[in-house]
Amino acid sequence: MHYENVLATIGNTPLIRMNRIAQEIPAKVFAKVESYNPGQSAKDRIALFMIEEAERAGKLKPGGTIVEATSGNTGFSIAMVSSIKGYRCILTLTSKASPEKISLLKSMGAQVVICPVDVEPADPRSYYSAAERIAHETPNSFYLAQNFNLDNAEAHYRTTGPEIWKQTRGKITHFVCCAGTGGTLSGTARYLKEKNPDVKIIGVDAYGSVLKKFWETHEYDPNEIKPYKVEGLGKNIIPHNMNFELVDDFVKVTDKDSAFQTRDLAKYEGLMVGYSSGSAMQAVFEIADELSKDDVVVVLFSDHGSRYLGKIFNDEWMVEQGWLECEPAEAAAGMGS
């Protein structure tokens, strides 16, 4: 038995019971661990689906260039699909992306353009504007636009949703998932709600993002925007892929809680997952009061921890944030936690 190429190994990620970390939570908690994708994140699913839909629609032709604005994971998946299918790939990132992510993208053959993080999306310097400009100036190019291209959520409607339904034998009662573009949350939720409208959908947002406030008020409030550390979670725009009507509750989580939860997932469950996975786990704790022993919670972990070795898994970085109380020298010696 073999796979024709790496793209054939995308999806069908495992559902793993959380035991030690979730001991205090009355419900059964399972993680849908998307780091098992070949590109180590859920973004493999959308990159493959969006690119193949663009091919089918004639928007992407052989020898073409794919352009995207990305926090890193989508970029990696696009670079991977591009390398197999023979497309050129140009990615714009904000300066918040970790150096590890940037190196990985380059190693997959992508061209990377770094843009400032603290500018309005409409500013010509923003990573969105830069991607649009590059796509406009490059002949035979396709701008994926993961925030607005509805094939993003559709990919999860067709794959992640059915997988979770099957893996829980339809017993899922709560789905907890980070929202960035909203594709993972909305596509998966739409499938689950079609199967059982009583499944509760819990969105996870960052302090500094506009999503939760928009869900509450239906208004875009730029005052919500401030810098934060978690990558991939939250937005400073309202993405079309975010279907707010599917969300039963939105939980905001802090950078610090997210960091410690991610470290605990490694320590207690042996799972090296990314920073936003800690955010999602933190959200499960924040709704724990509403859960009972018959509930079946699925929490989605978006990516792998290897991309954050210089950050949350680095004690010195944790000390610099003021989250670990010891000197960097001690932390480096492994005495920080």
**Catalytic residue IDs:** 43
Q: Which residue is nearest to ligand PMP (CB)?
A: 232
Smallest gap from residue 329 Cβ to ligand PMP (A): 31
Residue 151 or 295 with smaller CB distance to ligand PMP: 151
- State how far the Cα of 119 lies from the Cα of 178, in Å rounded to an integer: 23
Secondary structure tally for the chain: helices H, strands E? 12, 10
Smallest gap from residue 268 Cβ to ligand PMP (A): 21
User: Residues 278-307: x/- map of binding to ligand PMP (CB under 6 A)?
Assistant: ------------------------xx----
Residue 181 or 282 with smaller CB distance to ligand PMP: 181
Residue 22 or 185 with smaller CB distance to ligand PMP: 185
Per rule CB under 6 A, is residue 224 in the interface with ligand PMP? no
71-81 as b/e: b if 16+ CB within 10 A:
bbbbbbbbbbb
**What is the number of other CB atoms lying within 10 angstroms of the CB of residue 103?**
10
Q: Which range of residues in 88-96, 162-170, 173-181, 324-332 is near ligand PMP by CB under 6 A?
A: 173-181
Residue 25 or 189 with smaller CB distance to ligand PMP: 189
Short-list 309, 328, 185, CA closest to 248: 185
The residues facing 178 across adjacent strands are 204
Short-list 293, 302, 312, CA closest to 40: 302
Residue 161 or 232 with smaller CB distance to ligand PMP: 232
C-alpha dihedral sign at 211, 181, 261, 23? positive
Per rule CB under 6 A, is residue 208 in the interface with ligand PMP? no
Smallest gap from residue 167 Cβ to ligand PMP (A): 19
Q: Which two tokens stand for residue 251?
A: 């939980």
Angstrom CA distances, 156 to 87, 93, 287, stand at 24, 23, 24
Q: Which two tokens stand for residue 95?
A: 């300066």
Read off the DSSP letter of residue 41: B
Per rule CB under 6 A, is residue 231 in the interface with ligand PMP? yes
Per rule CB under 6 A, count of chain residues that contact ligand PMP: 17
Per rule CB under 6 A, is residue 319 in the interface with ligand PMP? no
Q: In the window 153-172, what residues touch ligand PMP (CB under 6 A)? A: none
| Contact residues for ligand PMP, defined by CB under 6 A | 71, 73, 178-185, 231-233, 274, 276, 302-303
